Amino acid sequence: MLDSIRRIKEIDSRDMLGMTAGMPNHLMEGFRLGSQTVIGGSDFREVVVCAMGGSAIGGDLACAWLSDSSETPCSVARSYSLPAHVGTDSLIIAVSYSGNTEETLSMADHVIDIGANMIAISSGGRLQELAGEQGIPHCRVPSGLVPRATIGYVFGSLVGMLHSAGVAEGASEIEGLVPLLEQVRADCGPGSGTADNPAKRLAHELHGTIPVVIGYDLSVPIARRWANQLNENAKMIAFSDQLPEMNHNGIVGWVGDSLSQGFSMVFLEHNRCDCRMTRRLEATKAMVGERMHVFSSSAVGDSNLDKMFSLVMMGDYVSLYSAFLRKVDPSTTEPIEELKRILSKKSR
């Protein structure tokens, strides 16, 4: 099934595979657009990304990257209002691919009310209009894509804006990332047969199970991305967790409950961690492996950004191949649209 381009095209109505293949170019273009955004102010105490869904994951990845490349703390707000610690010396980045995300617009209004510094990223919509009305710097990314397939544009724009704001440098890392992701694309893309394609093989392994994706240190937000992509693209129940926290609670259920046999655990591995984490990782895999299927996906590359996005791209491919095995179109998200319709009726 997964080696038949014809059969895949019959399912993939909006060419999600093509959007995933474009990630290297999306990152470079996003960085260029973000870097061109003129940002006032300096010496920001913190960065807060206001976003939901795939846009918020871009913020999670930016925060993970910043934690090792900048002294400025970064967090992500996923709500209708801002946390109380946000003030006039904070840099707020409102991100909504459509520009119409209800929660993000509500947080943007809150930023305006308190007079904090704000910049915005969208493909248009109300967020762009609001930025124009309020004189807020705005980075417009290309429209017409499925929002969760714009991770390259969102993350690249965030790094470009942070570069422009003097919070962190990112140009060389973004440029170095492109050839690495082109290799991941060659290894995991549809033209690579199942026997040699790690993403296709893992999708087969996970088929018929409930995946739980485990991250640690810099792969924690990527585990969340994997689970979300499996949810939306493959219409699968999937979850994420993290080490070492899981060893203080979740492991009891995974080892002690016979229902865990219906799950598969995927560990997102890299070598940027304390040696104690390495021992903990191996011990955890051995214990849960007595109850359930255990798999690993290993990062490649040298920099933190290399390792992060090699895992992101791998996970995106796994989710798409999982969708094709289940014969579902990865671009649709009808339950989300239905919920929006319900909420829209109740707010009238």
Question: Which CATH number characterizes residue 60's domain?
Answer: 3.40.50.10490
Out of 9, 85, 327, 340, the active site residue is: 340
The mean pLDDT value for 33-52 works out to 89
Mark whether 45 and 144 lie in a shared domain.
yes
269 is a catalytic site residue:
no
Mark whether 42 and 158 lie in a shared domain.
yes
Out of 248, 334, 345, 346, the active site residue is: 248
Tell me how many degrees the CA angle 223-224-226 measures, rounded to the nearest 5. Answer: 65
Mark whether 161 and 249 lie in a shared domain.
no
**Global pTM value:** 0.96
Residue 68 pLDDT more than 90?
A: no
Q: For residue 134, is it within any domain?
A: yes
Residue 84 pLDDT more than 70?
A: yes
Confidence band of 272 (pLDDT split at 50, 70, 90): confident
Provide the number of structural domains found in the chain. Answer: 2
The mean pLDDT value for 49-71 works out to 93
How many Cβ atoms from other residues are within 10 Å of residue 45's Cβ?
Answer: 13
Report pLDDT for 347. 62
Scan for tokens 């491919």, then name that residue: 317
Distance, CA of 168 to CA of 246 (rounded, Å): 31
The mean pLDDT value for 94-108 works out to 97
Mark whether 85 and 206 lie in a shared domain.
no
pLDDT tens profile 198-233? 999 999 999 999 999 999 999 999 999 999 999 999
**Which are the contacts of 206, defined by CB distance < 8 A and separation ≥ 6?**
230, 264, 266, 295, 318, 322
Q: For residue 338, is it within any domain?
A: no
- Compare 205 and 66 and report the one with higher pLDDT: 205
**Environment class of 106 (CB within 10 Å of its CB; exposed 0-12, middle 13-18, buried 19+):** middle
133 is a catalytic site residue:
no
Mark whether 207 and 149 lie in a shared domain.
no
Half-sphere exposure of 130 (CA within 13 A, CB side): 24
Q: For residue 273, is it within any domain?
A: yes
Tokens of 81: 């209002």
Mark whether 220 and 130 lie in a shared domain.
no
Q: For residue 237, is it within any domain?
A: yes
Q: For residue 84, is it within any domain?
A: yes
Residue 20 pLDDT more than 80?
A: yes
Q: Tell me the CA distances in angstroms from 311 to 62, 116, 127, 128, one per residue in order.
A: 15, 34, 30, 31
Mark whether 251 and 145 lie in a shared domain.
no
232 is a catalytic site residue:
yes
pLDDT tens profile 165-197? 888 887 888 989 999 999 999 999 999 999 999
The backbone torsions φ and ψ at residue 295, rounded to the nearest 5 degrees and listed phi first, read -135, 160
Residue-range definition of the domain harbouring residue 82: 37-169
Report pLDDT for 348. 59
Out of 29, 103, 173, 232, the active site residue is: 232
pLDDT tens profile 313-334? 999 999 999 999 999 999 999 9
Confidence band of 297 (pLDDT split at 50, 70, 90): very high
Mark whether 164 and 206 lie in a shared domain.
no
Q: For residue 346, is it within any domain?
A: no
Mark whether 142 and 237 lie in a shared domain.
no
Mark whether 292 and 249 lie in a shared domain.
yes
